[in-house]
Amino acid sequence: MTKKLHYFNINGLGESIRYLLHYAGEKFEDIQYDFKSWPDKKVKESLPYGQFPLYEEGDAKLTQSLAIARYIALKENLLPPDPWEQAVLDSFVFTIYDFWSNVLPFIKEQDPARKATIKKKIIDDNIDFYFSRFEKHLKENRGHFGGKLTWVDFVFVGIIESAHLFLEIEIEKEYPTVGTLVKEVLRLPGVKEYVATRKPYVL
């Protein structure tokens, strides 16, 4: 069955899915659309909800980045069997996405002065708020959100790298345990080989 991931030619919400697919050793078509020339009206109208990422297995389509990531992770034992532990991990991915929701206005804003104001607010109000808490939790849980490697770690690294691309800030430099986790995920089998051949993303 043909597997396809449709996303922009950037990291964004698609990169953790690429990492998970490569870690799982899945053969898939990594179909990338030019972020700079978006929207492509025809492509947008062809998407179930007008947005990427879209994951396909044969004729079956799945939208929503976290649903896709969780599905791939489930097959790879990257989710604990215990419902409570799963819920705790879900709460972490939603919190990671809460952080990212503060970055979206910056991405959408075109005016340079307003962009700078939003960036300052993200730095002042959001980065340390979230990342000091993530750092503490990781330190207390053997460097992982779930005490060992789970899908949340992949999602986390994808968001950190996206923050780097859009905000030009290397968040992990200020948070050592976060930095160690980023390095660990990027060195995982499958991910490491993919990262070595990946072209740098540019905006």
Ligand X SMILES: N[C@@H](CCC(=O)N[C@@H](CS)C(=O)NCC(=O)O)C(=O)O
Which residues of this chain interact with ligand X, rule CB under 6 A? 12-13, 38-39, 44, 50-53, 64-66
Q: Which of 19/175 has CB closer to ligand X?
A: 19
Q: How far is the CB of 103 from ligand X (least distance, A)?
A: 11
Q: Which of 100/175 has CB closer to ligand X?
A: 100
Q: How far is the CB of 187 from ligand X (least distance, A)?
A: 26
Q: Which of 106/175 has CB closer to ligand X?
A: 106
In angstroms, the CA 72 to CA 164 distance is 25
Nearest residue relative to ligand X (C-beta):
51
Token couple for 193: 């080989």
Q: Which of 14/146 has CB closer to ligand X?
A: 14
> Is-contact 199 9, C-beta < 8 A?
no
